[in-house]
Structure 1
Amino acid sequence: MDRQAAFSYRCAACSRCCHHKKIQLNPYELARLARAQDLDAAAFRERYVTDHVYLRQKADGACVFLGEQGCTVHADRPLVCRLYPLGRIVDGEGEKFVELTPHPQTEGIYGSDGTIGEYLATQGADPFMQAADAYYQLFRWVARLSGDGGPDSVSDQSGILEALDLEAFVAREAARRNVDLPEPLGEQARLHCIWLAEMITDAQHEQKFTPQS
Structure 2
Amino acid sequence: MEETSKQPGKNPIEPVRMNPDSKFRFSCHEGLECFRECCGKITIFLTPYDVLRIKNRLGITSAEFLSLYTRIVDLKSTKLPFFLLNVTEDGKCPFVGEGGCNIYADRPLVCRYYPIGLGVLKSTEEESGDFYFRIKEPFCKGFEEDKEWTVRQWRESQEIDRYDFINKNWFEIVLNKKLLAGDMEPDEKSQRLYMLGSFDTDSFRNFVFESRFLDLYDVDEVTIEMIKEDEVELLKFAHKWLKGVLFGEYVYPRR
Shared fold, TM over 0.5? yes
With normalisation by structure 1, the TM-score equals: 0.80
- 2:26 counterpart SS class: strand
Structure 1 match to 2:66: 45
Task: Please list, as runs of the form range in 1=range in 2, the aligned pairs for 1:14-93 lying within 5 A after superposition.
Answer: 14-51=35-72, 53-91=83-121, 92=123, 93=128
> Do the aligned partners of 1:12 and 1:107 also contact (CA within 8 Å) in 2?
no
Displacement of 1:6 in angstroms is 1.5
Structure 2 match to 1:153: 186
Alpha carbons of 1:39 and 1:19: their partners in 2 closer, same or farther (altered >3 Å)? same
Structure 1 match to 2:140: 106
- 1:181 counterpart SS class: helix
Structure 2 match to 1:180: 225
Alpha carbons of 1:108 and 1:185: their partners in 2 closer, same or farther (altered >3 Å)? farther
> Partners in 2 of 1:96 and 1:201 — Cα distance?
26
Alpha carbons of 1:146 and 1:6: their partners in 2 closer, same or farther (altered >3 Å)? closer
Q: Structure 1, residues 44-69: CA drift from partner, whole Å, max 9, x if none?
A: 01211122611111112110111121
Alpha carbons of 1:127 and 1:154: their partners in 2 closer, same or farther (altered >3 Å)? farther
Structure 2 match to 1:209: none
With normalisation by structure 2, the TM-score equals: 0.68
Alpha carbons of 1:156 and 1:2: their partners in 2 closer, same or farther (altered >3 Å)? same
User: What is the aligned counterpart of 1:162 among 196, 207, 211?
Assistant: 196
**Root-mean-square deviation over aligned CA pairs:** 2.9
Alpha carbons of 1:4 and 1:116: their partners in 2 closer, same or farther (altered >3 Å)? same
Task: Find out whether 1:118 has 2:164 as its counterpart.
Answer: no
> Do the aligned partners of 2:197 and 2:239 also contact (CA within 8 Å) in 1?
no
| 2:59 partner amino acid | D
Alpha carbons of 1:194 and 1:135: their partners in 2 closer, same or farther (altered >3 Å)? same
Structure 1 match to 2:164: 129
Which 5+ residue runs of structure 1 have no aligned equivalent? 203-213
Which structure features the higher share of helix residues?
1
Q: Structure 1, residues 144-201: CA drift from partner, whole Å, max 9, x if none?
A: 39943x5x53452463233331343256437724511345554333222111112335
> Do the aligned partners of 2:23 and 2:148 also contact (CA within 8 Å) in 1?
yes
> Partners in 2 of 1:31 and 1:11 — Cα distance?
26
The size of the alignment, in residue pairs, is: 201
| 1:37 partner amino acid | L
Structure 2 match to 1:189: 235
Displacement of 1:3 in angstroms is 0.9
Which 5+ residue runs of structure 2 have no aligned equivalent? 1-17, 73-81, 249-255
> Do the aligned partners of 2:48 and 2:167 also contact (CA within 8 Å) in 1?
no
Alpha carbons of 1:101 and 1:154: their partners in 2 closer, same or farther (altered >3 Å)? same
